[in-house]
Amino acid sequence: MAPQPWSKRASLGLLATATATLGCAGLGEYVWADALPETPTNVADEYRLAPGDMISVRVFNQESMSGRARIRPDGRVTIPFVNDIPAAGHTTQDLARNIPGVYPLERSQGVLRALAAAGGLTEFAHKDRIFVVRPGAPKRIRFSLERLSTPGSRSALFRLQTDDVVLVQ
């Protein structure tokens, strides 16, 4: 049996009334966002890097060495100029703080002064794997902390030049 035209109209009217009534219904009480109490940021809730995570690495002034690196199953990541550093369990901010940066020095400073400007060696640094990379030089120049700390040694007397890069492994 075909529906009566009046039943279609009644159904549409009922649907329109229900929609209008529900549309006007309140969603409950509210509070303005600016009136909410501040919630402290919990450092423990920050994401910690884990093996398998991919991170972006930018090497200053060396776009060809910049890119992405994956944290290995042993929790370490290889970064150009720095080599392997522990990454798993750290936040990205922790990791960035553990990676050396650029420190301006006065002209003709020694390697020991550059290390001091960078805050010294990290707990992971090898004291006998300190290198200076000099633009145009065929090889890296290697130092040990012991020789750098020996007054009058060739290591202690060595002076940095413009664009030298000091690396510690």
The total of other beta-carbon atoms located within 10 Å of residue 128's CB is 12
Output the pLDDT for position 92. 83
Which residues is 78 bridged to in the sheet?
A: 84
Parallel/antiparallel/unpaired status of strands 130-133 and 141-143:
antiparallel
- The pLDDT tens digits for 118-157 are 778 877 788 899 999 888 888 889 999 999 999 999 999 9
Strand positions, DSSP E, 18-157: 54-57, 67-70, 76-79, 83-86, 130-133, 141-143
Residue 78: per-residue pLDDT: 82
